[in-house]
Amino acid sequence: MLEPARRCEKNRSIASSGRLDLESAEPLDPASLPQTFGELDLSPEMMRSLKRCGYDRPTPIQAALIPLALDDIDVLGQARTGTGKTAAFGISILEQIAPGDEIPGVQAMILVPTRELAVQVRDEIDKLATGQGVTVTAVYGGKPIRGQIEKLRRGSMIVVGTPGRILDHLSRRTIDLSELWCVVLDEADRMLDIGFRPEIEKILRQCPKEGRQTLLLSATIPPAIERLARRYMREPQLINVSPKEISGDTIEQFYYTVDHEDKFLLLTELLREHNPASAIIFCRTKRRTDAIARKLEKAFPREACAMHGDMAQTARDRVMKDYREKRFRFLVATDVVGRGIDISGISHIVNFDVPSFSDDYVHRVGRTGRMTKDGVTDGVAFTFIGSDEGGELTKIELRINRELKRLEVPESVKDQAVGRRNAVPDLPPPVDPLTKHPPKKYRRRL
């Protein structure tokens, strides 16, 4: 076990990062960062752990964040999904954690937007802490609270949880934050998108102020995050390792302009042509997610599944497990749950619906970034732009500062679409009993 004292003896600094001044925050050049874990001055236990995990060298966010976090500096870390942010704060926390018998309460708390992520983050920290006697507990909704209360009562050094459930424990006084020295806001942008800001602020107000370190991780830093950081962090230092990656330079990004009613034909054609081993299809609403998954399941029996926030936790867990084990190929998901997915080997992303926020585009596309020993490998993303959604395309392109490549809808899809439209007049159109007219959708086709 490590010395409980914070490891502040070294004067570590990162040359080109700025104090929270987003305008001038220059992205860090990965080449200027430590290239090996050895340079980060970690404990022998941690070095062994990293070896066991197969982590040969730090990712840029790890190389940049760990030295600052070990120096007790508050950090706002911006890096795209799949770049190892969990281990970045996980390593720093584990290197500073005191034995449970010295500090009985919770020492570090990690707030995450979804249940899936709570489990993932707990597992990753558990993996890094193997054999070090560190207790990590995940608390999230959708599971009976009793088991979590019991685990907390027995002593948890690190707690990973969703804001709602953490607040629940705080109001029941089943979680003791009096000795907390580190708070992490993971996927902060996503937590704010979901509307967790009031909960996060309530929680932060109940955390000790003195001697507390706050780390905030986010793929994007919109103004709301900046405000949160200014209010609850101590002179946070911004590190940005994302721009090259956030625009998805390693990911091929295409779009199709397609009528809404032909999107499904295009999707099936695309999946047949590319035949990906794993793909995620993003839809805008839970209902559409279900509907598209059902249709896809007909076209590709036993190969498609839906996942969204209305599903019971056990069902979501099962879908994730099956997807991870490659029991089916096509996951149809909403932004909220899709975001928590950390699975390697996803080569194709299809934005069946344009995302409501362009930040979501970045997150969706980031799902293909696969971590390999040599860094992040590439994937391919297709976005379906409805003929009335040109403005949305522009928003995305401005956001990622790059143009998507246009692809033509294949002739085979056009033919099928035309065939289907011509076939419509043969069907008796349903008539609205009030107006005596067929509904608009049919009128357009007739």
Interface positions with ligand ADP (CB under 6 A): 55, 58-59, 62, 79, 81-87, 124, 342, 371
Decide which of ligand ADP, Mg ion, none touches 58; Cβ closer than 5 to 8 Å per partner kind: ligand ADP
By beta-carbon proximity to Mg ion, the closer residue of 129 and 217 is 217
Compute the distance between CA of residue 65 and CA of residue 60 in angstroms, rounded to an integer.
8
Compute the distance between CA of residue 187 and CA of residue 250 in angstroms, rounded to an integer.
21
> Rule CB under 5 A: is residue 85 a binding residue for Mg ion?
yes
Decide which of Mg ion, ligand ADP, none touches 212; Cβ closer than 5 to 8 Å per partner kind: none
Q: How far is the CB of 379 from ligand ADP (least distance, A)?
A: 14
Note the Cα 100 to chain centre separation in Å: 30
Backbone torsion region of residue 248, taken as left when φ is above 0, otherwise alpha when ψ lies between -120 and 50, otherwise beta: left
By beta-carbon proximity to Mg ion, the closer residue of 85 and 316 is 85
- Crossing angle (nearest 10°) for helices 115-128 and 44-53: 120
Other beta carbons within 10 Å of 263: 21
Compute the distance between CA of residue 72 and CA of residue 215 in angstroms, rounded to an integer.
10
Backbone torsion region of residue 121, taken as left when φ is above 0, otherwise alpha when ψ lies between -120 and 50, otherwise beta: alpha
- SS3 for 260? helix
Name the one range near Mg ion by CB under 5 A: 78-86, 96-104, 344-352, 389-397: 78-86
Name the one range near Mg ion by CB under 5 A: 22-30, 77-85, 157-165, 221-229: 77-85
Q: How far is the CB of 284 from ligand ADP (least distance, A)?
A: 22
Decide which of ligand ADP, Mg ion, none touches 87; Cβ closer than 5 to 8 Å per partner kind: ligand ADP
By beta-carbon proximity to ligand ADP, the closer residue of 291 and 371 is 371
Dihedral angle sign, alpha carbons of residues 227, 230, 231, 232: positive
Note the Cα 320 to chain centre separation in Å: 14
Decide which of ligand ADP, Mg ion, none touches 371; Cβ closer than 5 to 8 Å per partner kind: ligand ADP
Q: How far is the CB of 202 from ligand ADP (least distance, A)?
A: 24
Interface mask (CB under 5 A) for Mg ion, residues 311-330, using x and -?
A: --------------------
By beta-carbon proximity to ligand ADP, the closer residue of 81 and 368 is 81
End-to-end, the C-alpha distance of the chain in Å comes to 75
The DSSP secondary-structure symbol of 339 reads T
Cβ distance 234 to 208 under 8 Å? no
> Rule CB under 5 A: is residue 367 a binding residue for Mg ion?
no
Decide which of Mg ion, ligand ADP, none touches 83; Cβ closer than 5 to 8 Å per partner kind: ligand ADP
The DSSP secondary-structure symbol of 280 reads E
Residue nearest to Mg ion (CB): 85
> Which distant-in-sequence residues (6+ apart) come within 8 Å of 300 by Cβ?
268, 271, 329, 330
By beta-carbon proximity to ligand ADP, the closer residue of 39 and 273 is 39
- Which among 54, 30, 45, 37 has a CA at the least distance from the CA of 133? 45
Decide which of ligand ADP, Mg ion, none touches 90; Cβ closer than 5 to 8 Å per partner kind: none
What residue ranges in 272-344 does DSSP mark as E strands? 279-282, 304-307, 330-333
- Which among 64, 123, 116 has a CA at the least distance from the CA of 92? 64
Decide which of ligand ADP, Mg ion, none touches 383; Cβ closer than 5 to 8 Å per partner kind: none
Other beta carbons within 10 Å of 323: 21
By beta-carbon proximity to ligand ADP, the closer residue of 177 and 346 is 346
> Rule CB under 5 A: is residue 122 a binding residue for Mg ion?
no
Q: How far is the CB of 371 from ligand ADP (least distance, A)?
A: 4
Name the one range near Mg ion by CB under 5 A: 82-90, 274-282, 352-360, 400-408: 82-90
Q: How far is the CB of 298 from ligand ADP (least distance, A)?
A: 33
Name the one range near Mg ion by CB under 5 A: 7-15, 80-88, 202-210, 364-372: 80-88
Decide which of Mg ion, ligand ADP, none touches 342; Cβ closer than 5 to 8 Å per partner kind: ligand ADP
Q: How far is the CB of 95 from ligand ADP (least distance, A)?
A: 15
Tokens of 405: 């490549």
Q: How far is the CB of 282 from Mg ion (least distance, A)?
A: 18
Chain residues binding Mg ion by CB under 5 A are: 85
